[in-house]
């Protein structure tokens, strides 16, 4: 893309000169048609076309006005992942719909360098964030202590943080993950499930997959995941469960990973009769795993998801889950940024337990001794 369409591109000045008028007038012809006579405007536009003028250079304009008409969006993790995650996409849809109405462009800023050592990831993020020509940033689902956040903060532009750890003086949009997860767990508990397992999304940025212990929880990077885990624990503890007996499997948020993790969980003794999946994607994998083992959902295993993605109601059996307003999150974040006042505003959006067919009463277990 080093290409340059002409050796020396034509500018406002050139067309002004060609017409023997001032640059202002040409500028006005493009930006304020009402500021000059229609005939003159027509002449200007005709000359522009004749000279192959590509219109006022946006960089010049931005530098001059100090505004870009653009919102920057920073995801954690890789964009390939973000654009395969139904929740992130719903969020994006919300952001985009507001941008569209406001005629604002949306700049997706990559901060993740695929196949690069951890150390230089920061450098990469630094460069793209520093060079983003935007009027403000939306930060989506960032882990604790990561360089993208710092980098964005340094830009001293308006910021709205979505599903992020608390940032001083930054407006935010989120849900109460802990409370929502509590509801999910309480739902299973109400059905008398005695053996409950947890399917957990990534807690750290280290690509670890496997069981989660106390220590791992304490070192968690992702506030969301941790909060959901805590919500599950709150409910379980309250109901008298021994938390040490509750298996937790941490996996990448993908159906196939949920599938494998559940295969593993369902072969434990005692076999869980209830599974708390931290996302619907994991839950969908879990349903498939149960099927694969010849277990019926919900009569052998109950599964409850989280998010209420479209797939949740298309799968069979349809998934009991926690609905969170992902599109609305995006809309609100964009609106907050577009109408930025400098005031720090925190929105906590409501969630809702949606009961469908993937959960039911615990089966009667034969040997209570096991």
Task: For residue 46, state whether it binds a copy of itself (rule: CB under 8 A).
Answer: no
Task: For residue 145, state whether it binds DNA (rule: CB under 7 A).
Answer: no
CA distances from 160 to 141, 223, 233, 256, 292 (A): 11, 16, 30, 33, 43
Rounded-to-integer distance, Cα 53 and Cα 68, Å: 21
Q: What is the DSSP letter of 245?
A: G
CB of 236 to a copy of itself, least distance (A): 31
Task: For residue 253, state whether it binds a copy of itself (rule: CB under 8 A).
Answer: no
Task: For residue 1, state whether it binds a copy of itself (rule: CB under 8 A).
Answer: yes
Rounded-to-integer distance, Cα 337 and Cα 333, Å: 6
Which does residue 11 touch among a copy of itself, DNA, none (CB within 5 to 8 A, set by kind)?
Answer: DNA
Task: For residue 132, state whether it binds a copy of itself (rule: CB under 8 A).
Answer: yes
Which does residue 28 touch among a copy of itself, DNA, none (CB within 5 to 8 A, set by kind)?
Answer: DNA
CB of 27 to DNA, least distance (A): 3
Residues 6 or more apart whose Cβ sits within 8 Å of residue 359: 187, 188, 191, 274, 298, 302, 303, 304, 320
Task: For residue 289, state whether it binds a copy of itself (rule: CB under 8 A).
Answer: no
The DSSP H or E segment spanning 23 is: helix 23-31
Q: Which is nearer to a copy of itself, 54 or 210 (CB)?
A: 54
Which of 265, 194, 233, 205 has its CA nearest to residue 77?
Answer: 205
Residues 28-57 that bind DNA (CB under 7 A): 28, 30-31, 35-37, 40, 55-57
Q: Which is nearer to DNA, 13 or 101 (CB)?
A: 13
Cis peptide before 60 (omega within 30 of 0): no
CA distances from 76 to 146, 336, 348 (A): 9, 20, 21
Residues 6 or more apart whose Cβ sits within 8 Å of residue 184: 231, 232, 235, 276, 304, 306, 321, 322, 353
Q: Which is nearer to DNA, 37 or 207 (CB)?
A: 37
Exactly one of 17, 45, 51, 60 binds DNA (CB under 7 A); that residue is: 60
Residues 6 or more apart whose Cβ sits within 8 Å of residue 125: 111, 112, 147, 148, 151
Which does residue 157 touch among a copy of itself, DNA, none (CB within 5 to 8 A, set by kind)?
Answer: a copy of itself
The DSSP H or E segment spanning 86 is: helix 86-102
Q: Which is nearer to a copy of itself, 294 or 342 (CB)?
A: 342
Q: Which is nearer to a copy of itself, 152 or 186 (CB)?
A: 152
Size of site (CB under 8 A) for a copy of itself: 72
Residues 91-110 that bind a copy of itself (CB under 8 A): 92-93, 96-97, 99-101, 103-110
CB of 109 to DNA, least distance (A): 17
Q: Which is nearer to a copy of itself, 63 or 348 (CB)?
A: 63
Task: For residue 118, state whether it binds a copy of itself (rule: CB under 8 A).
Answer: no
| CA 351 from centroid of its chain's CA atoms | 16
Exactly one of 80, 120, 219, 268 binds a copy of itself (CB under 8 A); that residue is: 80
């Amino acid at each position: 893309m080093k290409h340059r369409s002409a050796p020396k591109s034509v500018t406002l000045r050139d067309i002004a000169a060609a017409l023997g008028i001032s640059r202002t007038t040409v500028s006005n012809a493009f930006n304020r048609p009402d500021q000059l006579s229609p005939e003159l405007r027509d002449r200007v536009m005709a000359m522009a076309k004749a000279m192959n003028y590509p219109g006022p250079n946006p960089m010049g304009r931005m530098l001059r006005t100090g505004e870009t008409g653009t919102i920057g969006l920073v995801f954690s993790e890789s964009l390939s992942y973000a654009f395969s995650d139904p929740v992130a996409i719903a969020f994006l849809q919300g952001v985009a719909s507001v941008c569209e109405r406001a005629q604002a462009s949306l700049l997706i800023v990559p901060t993740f360098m695929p196949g690069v050592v951890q150390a230089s990831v920061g450098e990469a993020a630094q460069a793209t964030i520093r060079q983003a020509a935007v009027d403000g940033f939306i930060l989506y689902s960032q882990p604790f202590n990561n360089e993208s956040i710092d980098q964005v903060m340094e830009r001293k532009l308006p910021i709205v943080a979505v599903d992020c750890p608390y940032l001083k003086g930054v407006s935010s949009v989120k849900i109460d993950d802990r409370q929502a997860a509590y509801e999910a767990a309480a739902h299973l508990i109400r059905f008398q499930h005695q053996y409950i397992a947890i399917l957990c999304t990534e807690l750290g940025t280290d690509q670890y997959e496997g069981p989660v212990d106390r220590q791992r929880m304490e070192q968690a990077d992702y506030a969301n995941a941790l909060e959901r885990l805590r919500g599950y624990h709150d409910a379980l503890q309250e109901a008298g469960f021994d938390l040490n007996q509750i298996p937790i499997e941490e996996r990448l948020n993908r159906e196939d990973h949920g599938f494998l993790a559940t295969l593993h969980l369902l072969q434990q003794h005692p076999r869980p009769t209830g599974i708390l999946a931290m996302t619907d994607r994991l839950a969908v994998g879990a349903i498939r795993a149960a099927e694969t083992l010849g277990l019926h959902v919900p009569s052998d295993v109950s599964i409850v998801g989280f998010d209420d993605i479209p797939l949740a109601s298309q799968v069979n059996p349809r998934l009991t889950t926690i609905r969170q307003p992902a599109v609305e999150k995006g809309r609100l974040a964009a609106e907050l940024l577009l109408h930025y006042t400098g005031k720090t505003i925190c929105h906590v959006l409501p969630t809702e337990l949606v009961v469908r067919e993937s959960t039911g009463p615990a089966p009667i277990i034969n040997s209570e001794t096991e």
